[in-house]
Structure 1
């Protein structure tokens, strides 16, 4: 990834941090989850992520006027430039296909949508 300061391909996601989850522009107060690859395996990360998605779907299923799920955002600001550039706190990067593969994300979303009787109509350009 490219650093917003030096514009070199030296930006990396930290080994621990926070991933924010936003669906259709909605975010739960607890709509973020912690990751620490020094202490968790990729399977544990995937399990924690799946639990967070399930929690969101449970919360969203209580809405009276539910829009079909069209936009899913997973992003973090826990980044480091290999050249030591200070990264602005407001600089976010999508973690789809970096920390979680898009195909895996789609399977989890489909499973939870079926479980909570929701509709998914993802806009490929927005995701």
Structure 2
């Protein structure tokens, strides 16, 4: 990935950190989870992903007027530049495809939307 400071292809995700999830641009304080790429197996990441999505969908299911969930973002600030650039915490990078796959995310969203009766109209870039 390209570093937002030096613009070189030297940006790498940290081996452990936090993933923040947003749904239609909104999130709860619990809409995040810790990852450890050295120790987490795919099933561990999937359980964490399911837990965050279920938690938000339980909360969202209590809303009277539910807009369909169209956008879901998974970002982290836990990246390092190999050139040792100081990266501002406002630079949030997409982790879909790095911590978990897009397929894992869509499968989890579909399962939880059925379980909690949340309408989905996903629009991924």
In the superposition, the TM-score normalised over structure 1's length comes to: 0.92
- Looking at structure 2, the residues matched to 16 and 83 of structure 1 have their Cα atoms a distance apart, in angstroms, of 19
SS of corresponding position for 1:27: coil
Output the aligned Cα RMSD: 1.2
- Looking at structure 2, the residues matched to 124 and 27 of structure 1 have their Cα atoms a distance apart, in angstroms, of 18
- Say whether residues 1:21 and 2:21 are aligned partners: yes
Query: Where in structure 1 do 4 or more consecutive aligned residues deviate above 3 Å?
Result: none
Structure 2 unaligned residues grouped into runs of 5+:
none
SS of corresponding position for 1:7: coil
> Which residue number corresponds to residue 8 of structure 1?
8
Q: How many residues align?
A: 125
What per-residue deviation string (whole Å, max 9, x for no partner) do you get for residues 22-54 of structure 1? 001211121111112234223212211111111
> Which residue number corresponds to residue 43 of structure 2?
43
> Which residue number corresponds to residue 85 of structure 1?
85
In the superposition, the TM-score normalised over structure 2's length comes to: 0.93
- Looking at structure 2, the residues matched to 36 and 116 of structure 1 have their Cα atoms a distance apart, in angstroms, of 29
> Which residue number corresponds to residue 63 of structure 1?
63
2:45·2:100 contact (CA, 8 Å) conserved in 1?
A: no
Structure 1 unaligned residues grouped into runs of 5+:
none
- Looking at structure 2, the residues matched to 43 and 123 of structure 1 have their Cα atoms a distance apart, in angstroms, of 25
> Which residue number corresponds to residue 72 of structure 2?
72
2:46·2:104 contact (CA, 8 Å) conserved in 1?
A: no
